[in-house]
Structure 1
Amino acid sequence: MEHSGRYERKVERYVTKGFKILFMVIFGILMIFLMGFVFMWLWNWLMPDVFGLTTLTYWQSFGLLALAKIIFGFGNHSSKGGGHKKSKRHDRFKNYCNSKNGNSDWKHYDQFWKEEGEEAFNAYINRIKKEDYDDRG
């Protein structure tokens, strides 16, 4: 009996998730069509008087928005030029390595690698290989 309750909760969770996704898709589509209407209203209110341009129909304004999206994009780009997960993860690592209290040993890493890095690394690898060989033989 315990298993059926677990399956019911799982199904309920998936159904709830499905409704949320459906709601988000419908809401997104409505927002896109609303943006077309707002764009048309603003264009027809400002452009004919200010620049002497003709008025737009709803579908013309929708097409102009689509064209602007293709040419310019409307994405949420950060000023650093990278709003991607990878760059955010790198920034977190960088902040961890450069701690504010100055007690991080990572600040010496670059200097160590320049002075001793490759030689020390090769010595370490040779030591590990020798220990593995000694353990086997």
Structure 2
Amino acid sequence: MAGEAHGSFAIRTEGDIVIVTLRGAWNLEGAMTYFQELEKVVEAYQKRPWCRVVDYTDYDLHTPEVTAAQPKLSLWCQLQGCVEQVYVGCNKVDRKALDFSYKDSGMTYVACETVDDAVRYCRCVLTGSPPPAGLNFILAGDTAGLQGAS
């Protein structure tokens, strides 16, 4: 018998951008519930290009099983047409976990300070435009990180 799901989330879209807010401490059951809902949303894109923004601002921790499942989610997103995954509110521990998740996926990720910045970045990616000079973001593996990030 499966355990009770821990962790909560909200999913919304802005055009070809999926914006996810994660909250609390997560176990595998919570992650699977999130994945099932994400599948429903992403199905509508029919593998055309889209971006995923994940807000970690109120995210706490997750179990080792969730860490092990993250690379599969990253790869699944890529196979469904996701061209960029942007994370908001990441601390150094979050970024290390993301580096692990992405290291063998063939895909990178970006971190931004705010959801608005992440959405602006995604719009640039989707239109093939360069990010504006004032947009603060980091690419995967940047150990210097964002200003003020810890």
- TM bucket, shorter chain: under 0.3
Going by fraction, where is helix more abundant, 1 or 2? 1
Could you tell me the TM-score, scaled by structure 1's length? Answer: 0.25
Going by fraction, where is strand more abundant, 1 or 2? 2
Larger Rg: 1
